[in-house]
Structure 1
Amino acid sequence: MHRFIALIVTIFLILFVGSSMIFIVDQRKYAIVFSFGEVKKIISMPGLHLKAPPPFQNVIYMDKRIQTIDNLQADRYITSEKKNLLVDLFVKWRIVDPCKFYVSVRGDASLAQDRLIQVICAALNEEFTKRTISEVVSNEREIVMKAVRKKVKRDASNLGIDIVDVRLRRVDLLENISESVYQRMKAERQQVANEQRSTGAAEAERIRANADKQREIVIADAYKKAQKIKGDGDAKAAAIYASAFSRDPKFYAFYQSLEAYRRSIGKGDIVVADLNSEFFRFMKNSAGSMAIPAVQKRKH
């Protein structure tokens, strides 16, 4: 009977010791094996693993997933203009060095978050004090966040932590300064708009002046060419007239007189003139020398 009880106790002891030597690592966890308070091994691969039984070796687990700090209350930060801003943000982080994380914060995630919040607030305050409200809210917001992420990553690496992202969810102005800030931003935008309009008007005036100049040049050049063509035509016409006159001067004189009659006397015109004048000499005859027949007087 005593032997049976001893056998049962021995079996239980073996099972207990054996179970204390086996541990399972989840794929979402890190496992750190300690021996009398000293880190012996860090296991990141999931599966079944062996260790010495307690108190020779112990195991603690740490989460390797990305964790989020999003329960922060909006905090006040001072800009270079000595104005207060309410800033709300969130942080995503994860453990990348379990040994350093354990040594720094004893593996306590809440303590690590408190340390991260302090580092982030210090980095934000440093960046905000360099900039105006307008720069923080609109112009340089992404630049601010890049600088904050860089500084927080550097400090967080000492804790065995990698900062995945730091984002501003909201940046609000206090009620007592929001209206003045908005009015100043509006005035700045209005000034930029006026400068753009004046620049555009000056450019439009320059373009119109240049177009008018080019128009005058084109018209003058066209007039010059037209006058040249007209002069050439007149010269050719004069040459043709001269050639015709040299062939038959009397016919040329007769033709020129007829052209003068056509241009001077229109249909229905009444001409009062001396028929013996040189202008009407070809009305006497084609030679321009015979006496004109007597004109019968109209009966009244």
Structure 2
Amino acid sequence: MRKTSYLLPAFVVGIVVLLSSVFVVDEREKALVLQFGQIKAVKEDPGLAFKIPFIQEVVRYDDRILSLDTQTIEVTPSDDRRLVVDAFARYRIADVVQFRQAVGVGGIRAAEDRLSSVLNAQIREVLGADQVTSDTILSEDRRELMTRIRDQARTSARGLGLDVVDVRLKQTNLPEQNLNATFERMRAERAREAADEIARGNEAAQRVRALADRTVTETLSEADREANVIRGEADAERNGIFANAFGADPEFFAFYRSLQAYEKALRGGNSTMVMTPDSQFFDYFKSENAGAPASQ
């Protein structure tokens, strides 16, 4: 009975010691075995692992890709237009031993504070370069800028045992105090472009109108020329007919010309003529023969 009373506590102590010496490493994490703060073993493969109970301790770190949102900062590109930049990064613990030596007991929180400082420094350096303008940052070309930020941040973060997987610029906006000035400048630029378009349109319209006026003038001139030619030919033909008629019967031609003169002179309802009684104008009215003048 007394022997049993000794074995039971020993058995319990043995189980406690055994359980304290065994730990499980999850596939999503890495573990360090520490003894008095010194690294004694690195457990990166998932499964069971052992440690000295009560002397050694296990510190676990996440082995997945983690996300970090940086604080909003202001950068000044080469065109002196300040921008408010908000970025985020994807990173993972690449070297758990170096990570522990770099951040100590601070863990992930201390590492993210230092990584955030690294990212902000690289963002200012890349976006503030001589060849980088605000238009470049706000355009699709900023993909190349983000790649440069990632590569430079990756180099700086290796000392922390971290691998920067990706860096993205979430927002790139103008500061609130610069928005109104920027909007006014944009309005002025759009107004200038509209004025230029209107001026070019008016110039094109004037060219079209000038071309149309010249075409009309040329068409009318050509029509007048053709009309004058036709009119001249008709007059010539008419004069030829008159000449032939005069040559064939001078008396009839004189009679015809007198009738034309009567028609033109006596046109209208209140025509008044003053002439001497012996005027030759009405010779055909005074003659006894209708076809011969009074002198005959």
TM-score normalised by the shorter chain: which range applies? 0.5 to 0.7
Q: CA deviation at 1:165?
A: 1.7
Q: Give the distance between the partners of 1:101 and 1:91, measured in 2 at CA.
A: 25
- For the residues of structure 2 that align with 1:100 and 1:280, how far apart are their CA atoms? 136
Unaligned stretches of 5+ in structure 1? 43-48, 293-300
1:261-291 CA-to-partner distances (Å, cap 9, x unmatched) read 3233321111223576565444456424136
- Superposition pairs of residues 53-64 of structure 1, within 5 angstroms: 53-54=50-51, 60-62=60-62, 64=64
1:150 paired to 2:147: yes
Q: Matches of 1:121 and 1:190 in 2, distance apart? A: 34
Q: Which amino acid counterpart does residue 91 of structure 2 have in structure 1?
A: I
Aligned amino acid, residue 168 of structure 2: D
* TM-score after normalising by structure 2: 0.61
Matched letter for residue 64 of structure 2:
K
Asked if residue 116 in structure 1 is aligned to residue 119 in structure 2, the reply is no
2:220 and 2:96 map into 1 onto residues whose CA distance is: 88
Q: Which residue of 1 aligns with 2:170?
A: 167
In structure 2, the residue matched to 1:90 is 86
Alignment of 1:1-300 (within 5 A): 5=8, 9=12, 12=15, 16=19, 20=22, 22-25=24-27, 30-32=28-30, 37=40, 39=42, 41=44, 49-54=46-51, 60-62=60-62, 64=64, 67-69=67-69, 72=71, 88-96=84-92, 98-100=93-95, 103-104=98-99, 108-126=107-125, 127-128=127-128, 130=130, 136=134, 139-142=135-138, 146=143, 148-158=145-155, 159-168=162-171, 171-172=174-175, 182=181, 190=188, 193=191, 197=195, 200-201=198-199, 204-205=202-203, 207-208=205-206, 211-212=209-210, 214-236=212-234, 238-239=236-237, 242-243=240-241, 246=244, 249=249, 251=252, 253-267=254-268, 268-273=270-275, 279-283=281-285, 284=287, 286-290=290-294
Q: Given that residues 84 and 174 in structure 2 are in contact (C-alpha distance below 8 angstroms), is that contact kept between their aligned partners in structure 1?
A: yes
Please give the root-mean-square deviation of Cα atoms over the aligned residues, in Å: 5.0
TM-superposed deviation, 1:215: 0.4
Please give the alpha-carbon distance, in whole angstroms, between the structure 1 residues aligned to 2:80 and 2:239: 97
Q: Is the 8 A contact 1:254 1:286 kept in 2?
A: no
Whether the 8 Å contact between 2:31 and 2:42 is mirrored in structure 1 is yes
Give secondary structure in 2 for the equivalent of 1:60.
strand
Sequence identity (%): 16
